[in-house]
Structure 1
């Protein structure tokens, strides 16, 4: 009653105070704080970050050779170019500095509490708020906070895990995980065992080879490596970086060329496409060439389609495998002993140091209790299958959002622009909450069910559905594709352009139109506003139809394609 009465004295869409809690200060948490700060007033934001610094996975991952497997100018926010990337594929330190500088530039640190770990979040339906329990890691004290909107920005590749191999704790040598690297361990002259051949292992092996006496690498499955990308793994010259700093248009064109190249490759992931067949033949030939006709090609080159699991540049990896100081052991590790690893061939392989490049928990189950409507724990609800709405929300978990949740575009093209689309969608929903008398909202069960059904049917037409072990399928061989969006990244951007409010259940405080207020507009309440702002010389209003909107947004007519994916920009009037 009091809420409705206070609104009755205000103009339509008068914003109420908003309190947001965000979990995690990695790329998505920083993006949310930037966009919230840029567009909103009358809000309070607290970001709880468990680490000592911002940047999330790029703060945590410091293993030798760690870097991004997409070009750095693509792995940047669309609105925040960095003319000073040192190389096409930047290392983790440089990426960490990019996000740290972003935080400092926009003064986002005022929202962030470092060394604070969220341990529980419980929805209170009566109050329409989340009660959040936080541990101060500096002194162990418990903090209790609450918010109107809860955003989980902890990421998908964050919960690293040791391999489930008997005897792991028995190993007497030094044991390392790539996601918790101990830089004090000296590998010089050591015999190193390396478990895995995913992205981390592919980066680690050539990086440590010059320093160790020997590497025994344990490989359980084949994987596609893209060795020709080594040609593009060059450093940018001083002249190039100077030009990017002095000529923003040259930098923009370079960024757009790289981004367009990334976005032009989606047909690779469709079964039996011409691009897929060509990639299979070309990568097979290139891998055979790098492996120099050794027996390794029979065990390393997959029979399943290119892209079934994440395609990796693999700079110098294949060449390193043929080194005299590298032994490749193919098959499962049966157990780990005090001295080393016993393979499925029955042989024990002693090593001094054991590096586990064994990835992350990609089940999408939250790492702490998130208790939603009617006491449901999200980890329990998702124990068999994570079922999100468009990768950002879950049914019966009101006023709760996540970044890069299940079936987000994390392997479909450029990932940060997909993250930006999620941030904009979340803020559209927050805007409605703040300017209307909404109590809560969550996606309808029917909408989630239809989305999952469409996704499952679509995936049958993709290479991701084939029998390969992939984190896209929660590290299974034949499970459902739970990580990826059913379409390209550009497809995702268009799907997320505006919220489908009909897919959401809204609950209101009092009359749903109480936000109409005192009958006056925001314009009339602003003494500096033009009371005839809609009078103009020509119709310059945005187009109403989606098709024309997209043509304007995508600058239709400005690019000539049909030349193998390359783009030629031209000036045209839309």
Structure 2
């Protein structure tokens, strides 16, 4: 065989949400001689955007930028799109690029065990339709299961004794009738903030239980806006308008990173702006003192909160500040008082520990679930020491709250493609990050986090709910910083084993070019040097079109209008 022969590989991907679908697209676009199967526990693709159907469910990222960089959508309804619109985007993406044939629906991966002999994973999959298990095998295992998909009930005594209608936002029952009902709402995170204004016109009364303060305000220039038919038409017909609009928003989101650094002008300016916005909207409610945090903006995820603060002052809203101590058959008890409700909505979030949802057993018999029991420690958010040929999307310390997240997902997918290319065209048997490299990365990350607002004493899923815990969810830098860090595979950080001599991939002495009679066998003879640049700096300046954009004078980002 000639050098760099593409051997056949089999890949299993867990999850057909946004990340899993992007992985399939990227693999299909660049590779041949592979088998890919995506096992998905739901009956539809789309992941969290198919699962979450609660009233008001939407994304807190501007809709035109909650897309893949190369796949714009012309007709979003507004600045913040509903979960149904976002699901339709990813569902259409699946059909446009013929990705559905890779997907096996209602199939849940229940275990993956590394075989040193076979240099791959023996995977057990449960058919959720029949409850029968099947065995599969892959050379490379991809976990695209996501973060916000394992919902949980709150640990409140007596919850199972409640006699009314009990529902979790992430497992919403669309047959629930709210009209004229007394509703209890537990939680004021992103889901609870979206639910309240959405159900307010229907219900008789809402008692919302708020445990702690949180920052709620759109960033300047990114208030909710419903796009008119004329604006949608302009996006579709005016060359370059939509691309420029998306670029301006993306630049703005990337330009907010200074907000997350302590004692910066961005942090101070954002705090002053959001404090004023919240005070204005809470005027007359006497809630400013309990809802406006003392900790820094960004310690917890910021939410635009469209209509939320205004809803707290409505006549049919009762705000109870403090923990729900217990649940009775009739309702909730807080501060010694019972609040009867007909429907109890738990907007209480997900298991965000990053531990895999199923056992992943490495070559030494180690289970990644146990390895990450106390603290998840990944290599750049995509791999784990001691677990070969295993890659993940949005693992620990990925930039999930540092800027535009889908751009980071694309960077992860591209990095995976580089690793897979090297695996397929050489005789690599296994690859995994070195334990020392992971330890050094975690040490660097921890030092960096000391200078960020994420280390403030707020209770956040960024720190697995522990106010004083290590920041396990976020990247130590901006999203643009992450994209540059992920641009090149640092093989010196990876442990690699080979089948046979490490240079067996050199083959029979022939090149791939000589095996292609339609190729130019003298392709390197040119009239001028049009080859790639070799310094990282030169390549970055070319890729980013350095010198073509006017630098912003201010440090507090105001986003563009169309």
User: Is 1:474 matched with 2:464?
Assistant: yes
Contact 2:114 2:120 in 1 (8 A): yes
Shift of 1:293: 3.9
Paired residue for 1:37?
28
Aligned mate of 1:325, from 310, 316, 320? 316
The equivalent residue for 1:455 is: 445
Matched, 1:502 2:492: yes
Residue 134 of structure 1: aligned partner: 125
TM-superposition CA deviations, 1:463-512 (whole Å, max 9, x none): 00000010100122111000000000000000000100000000001100
| Alpha-carbon distance, 1:247 to partner | 2.8
Q: Does 1:528 align with 2:518?
A: yes
Does the aligned pair in 1 maintain the 2:221–2:558 contact within 8 Å?
no
Q: Secondary structure at the match of 1:373?
A: coil
Aligned to 2:425: 435
Contact map agreement 2:359 2:367 (CA 8 A) in 1: yes
Change in Cα spacing, 1:176 to 1:502, as seen in structure 2 (3 Å) is: same
Q: What's the counterpart of residue 110 of structure 2?
A: 119
Name the residue aligned to 2:288. 297
Q: Secondary structure at the match of 1:354?
A: strand
* C-alpha distance in structure 2 between counterparts of 1:212 and 1:475, whole Å: 31
Q: Is the CA contact 2:401–2:474 (under 8 Å) kept in the aligned structure 1? A: yes
* Equivalence for 2:181: 190
1:562 Cα deviation after fit: 2.4
Q: For the Cα contact (< 8 Å) 2:396–2:472, is it kept in 1? A: yes
In 1: Cα distance, 2:233 partner to 2:529 partner: 43
Deviation at 1:230, TM superposition (A): 8.9
Q: Look up the SS of the partner of 2:201 in the other structure.
A: helix
**Distance across 1 between alignment mates of 2:526 and 2:26:** 30
Is 1:342 the counterpart of 2:368 in the alignment? Answer: no
Which residue of the other structure, out of 536, 554, 557, is the alignment partner of 1:546?
A: 536
CA distance in 2, matches of 1:227, 1:292: 17
Identify unmatched segments of 5+ residues in structure 1.
1-9, 569-574
How big is the shift at 1:24? 0.2
Cα 1:181/1:242, change in 2 over 3 Å? same
Please list the CA deviations of residues 299-346 of structure 1 after superposition, one character each: whole Å capped at 9, or x if unmatched.
000000000000000011000001111111111111111011111x11
Q: Contact 1:219–1:331 at 8 Å: present in 2 too?
A: yes
Match of 1:65 in 2: 56
RMSD: 1.2
Q: Which of 355, 362, 378 is the matching residue for 2:368?
A: 378
Return closer, same or farther for 1:32/1:70 CA change in 2, 3 Å cut-off. same
SS in 2 for 1:210: coil
Partner of 2:408: 418
Runs ≥4 residues deviating over 3 A: 227-231, 565-568
Structure 2 residue runs of 5 or longer lacking an equivalent are none
Following the alignment from structure 2 to structure 1, what is the Cα–Cα distance between the partners of residues 552 and 353?
A: 40
- 1:567–1:51: structure 2 CA closer, same or farther, 3 Å change rule? closer
1:407 aligns with 2:397: yes
Q: CA deviation at 1:567?
A: 9.6
Normalised by the length of structure 1, the TM-score is 0.96
